Amino acid sequence: MSDAVKVGFVPLSVAPRGILVVFCDEGLKFGAATRKALGSAADLVGKAAATSRFKGKSGSMLDILAPQGLKVSRLLVIGVGKVSSLKSSDYLKFGGAAASKLAPGSNAMTIIAELPDEAIKTEQAVAVASGVRLRAYRFDRYKTKKKDDEQGVLRADVAVADVAGARKAFGPAGHVVDGVIMARDLVNEPPNVLHPPEFARRATQLRKLGVHVEVLDVRAMTRLGMGALLGVAQGSAHPGRTVIMRWNGGKRGETPIAFVGKGVCFDTGGISIKPAGSMEDMKGDMGGAACVVGLMHALAARKARVNAVGAIGLVENMPDGNAQRPGDIVTSMSGQTIEIINTDAEGRLVLADLLWYVAKKIKPKCMIDLATLTGAIMVALGTEHAGIFSNNEELADRLTQAGLETGERVWRLPLGPEYDKLIDSQFADMKNTGGRHGGSITAAQFLQRFVDDTPWAHIDIAGTAMGAPKSDINQSWGSGYGVRLLDRLVADHYEKK
């Protein structure tokens, strides 16, 4: 893990270095420590604000170079809008906005974590610090010639009221950021490097944190009867793998919560091959598995008081003499048979065996799968929400709430027997596609046939895991979507306090 920025905490009274970042509300009001730091330069800010019509609106910034009367290279005033309507995810964005100005020319930054009237709470200051790290992330492992502004480690200090408290809280929060970065790295890696065995090897590194990691190879999966997953894997020169990760931070013997990830390391479509345009994006078709690994890292590193299982199915979907064909019928681990209509609907085949394995062998209290499953989810929801499907109201509500808190938002879509009919097959128990309409729903119906009565939610992250527009807290192609969402879900509902 390579961080482009080192983040620390200092007292509010510290003399700022490099770039000074301060916050103000819609009334252009500052807090007491901020006013003190600005001193006579407050006048300058007032004039600059008037000239540029800066009013402190949320998302706006006033950027003053070489501010007279201050010993800093640059003064950045970030508008937060109405303080009373701020959400916890807004603080991440403030940190991200600040970090957007970090550059080697002025390689230090002091962010005064204070809003008008008061120092912001420790948890929120920590979110600012997390936002800085998330924003500064870049994936440049394969660039041999780095530009000037891509070199060196930068430093950002967040000035807070309670330095010790913030440092302590940034321990666990920092582990969650590490998990997000790990997921982004995996999604960004090229598919010649990150094939199924290599992905499995990287997952075994979680052992260093005390995670129990079991890797199932083709022989083990054959013994288990995972014919649906293996049918996808058989066209590739790289053999498939299933990885089961267990973090036991909760009470001994307590039923775990489970997370399941689609890990298609590259999706050509197989014999139903995809068109060439943007096919390179299909290196990100393991975004679900990347999220599960990043999440397991976060939970284990911050020693979450929970028993959690992560299960990922790793395959490469290739056309080949040995690849599966449309018309093939495979037998899943559940015993149910599947007629392959389109080899490009491979993710649900991988998940069918994984979900069944987890439901029957782990028997979790609930399971949540993440998958870059359908292009149709982008047609429905764009890139702002992931789609969720669930057989359990409570789980769906909890995910929705965690989405609002973290900014990794989800939107629930329906399931129902009428949709389920669309995947009945004339030759087998079901077929792997349901026709043109409601593509994300029929995919979810397919998965539901493999969960039995386990409380379950499916998150379709095809629009959010990769290629989403750049944001305040992510400039990279892979977003690491889902790590913060599910870490929050666990923290809010499944951890012993």
The footprint of ligand BES (CB under 6 A) covers: 267, 285, 342, 344-347, 372, 374-376, 433, 439, 462
- Kindly tell me which residue out of 178, 185, 339, 344 binds Mn ion, with binding defined by CB under 5 A: 344
Q: Which is nearer to Zn ion, 189 or 267 (CB)?
A: 267
- Starting at the edge strand found earlier in the chain, the sheet holding 74-79 runs 5-11, 154-160, 108-112, 19-24, 74-79, 61-65
Residue 339 makes contact with Mn ion by CB under 5 A: no
Q: Which strands form 430-431's sheet, in the order they lie side by side?
A: 329-331, 337-339, 430-431
Ranked by CB distance to Mn ion, the top (closest) residue is: 344
Smallest separation (angstroms) from ligand BES to the CB of 275: 11
Q: Catalytic: 348?
A: yes
- Compare residues 176 and 345 and give the one whose CB is closer to Mn ion: 345
93, 283, 348, 449: which one is catalytic? 348
Catalytic, out of 138, 274, 305, 365: 274
Minimum distance from residue 170 beta carbon to ligand BES (Å):
34
Report the alpha-carbon distance of residue 403 to residue 397 in Å, rounded.
10
> Cβ of residue 198: shortest distance to Mn ion, in angstroms?
21
Instruction: State which residue, 124 or 448, has the beta carbon closest to ligand BES.
Output: 448
DSSP state of 172: H
Q: Name the one range near Mn ion by CB under 5 A: 173-181, 223-231, 343-351, 441-449.
A: 343-351
Minimum CB distance to ligand BES smaller for 34 or for 374: 374
Q: Which does 375 bind (CB under 5 to 8 A by kind): Zn ion, Mn ion, ligand BES, none?
A: ligand BES
Whichever of 42 and 422 has its CB closer to ligand BES, that residue is 422
Residue 113 to residue 120: CA distance in whole angstroms: 6
Cα(458)–Cα(390) distance, rounded to whole angstroms?
A: 6
CA distance 465 to 467: 7
CA distance 124 to 487: 17
Interacting stretch for Zn ion, rule CB under 5 A, among 55-63, 98-106, 343-351, 489-497? 343-351
353 binding Zn ion? (CB under 5 A):
no
Site for Zn ion in 274-303 (CB under 5 A): 285
Question: Residue 119 is encoded by which pair of tokens?
Answer: 């120092």
Cβ of residue 349: shortest distance to Mn ion, in angstroms? 10
Q: Please, what is the minimum distance in Å from the beta carbon of residue 373 to ligand BES?
A: 6
**CB burial class (10 A; 0-12, 13-18, 19+) of residue 436?**
exposed
Interaction of residue 316 with Mn ion, rule CB under 5 A: no
Is residue 451 packed enough to be buried (19+ CB in 10 Å), middle (13-18) or exposed (0-12)?
Answer: buried
Residue 267 engages Mn ion in binding (rule: CB under 5 A): yes
Considering the complex, what minimum distance in angstroms separates the CB of residue 369 from Mn ion? 16
Measure the CA–CA gap between 153 and 104, rounded to whole angstroms. Answer: 8
Q: What are the C-alpha distances in Å from 437 to residues 208, 263, 413, 440?
A: 46, 25, 14, 9
Q: Are 191 and 315 in contact (CB under 8 A)?
A: no
Contact 308, 296 (CB under 8 A): yes
Residues binding Mn ion: number (CB under 5 A) = 3
Cα(391)–Cα(444) distance, integer angstroms? 11
Among residues 162, 161, 170, 140, which one has the least CA distance to residue 3?
140
Q: Which is nearer to Zn ion, 466 or 490 (CB)?
A: 466
177/190 Cα distance (integer angstroms): 22
Q: What is the C-alpha separation between 293 and 482, in angstroms, rounded? A: 11
Nearest residue to ligand BES by CB is 375
Number of H helices, E strands in the chain: 15, 19
Query: Should residue 339 be labelled a site residue for Zn ion when binding is judged by CB under 5 A?
Result: no
Instruction: Establish if 347 lies at the interface with Zn ion (CB under 5 A).
Output: yes
Contact 38, 22 (CB under 8 A): yes
Active site residue 141: no
DSSP 322: T
Q: How far is the CB of 165 from ligand BES (least distance, A)?
A: 41
- From 178, 267, 420, 472, residue interacting with Zn ion (rule: CB under 5 A): 267
Does 316 sit near Zn ion (CB under 5 A)?
A: no
Q: CB under 5 to 8 A by kind: which of Zn ion, ligand BES, Mn ion, none does 376 bind?
A: ligand BES
Q: How is residue 6 written in tokens?
A: 């080192």
Position 460 contacts Mn ion (CB under 5 A): no
Query: Based on CB atoms, which residue is closest to ligand BES, 27 or 375?
Result: 375
Q: Which residues bind Zn ion (CB under 5 A)?
A: 264, 267, 285, 347
List active site positions: 274, 348
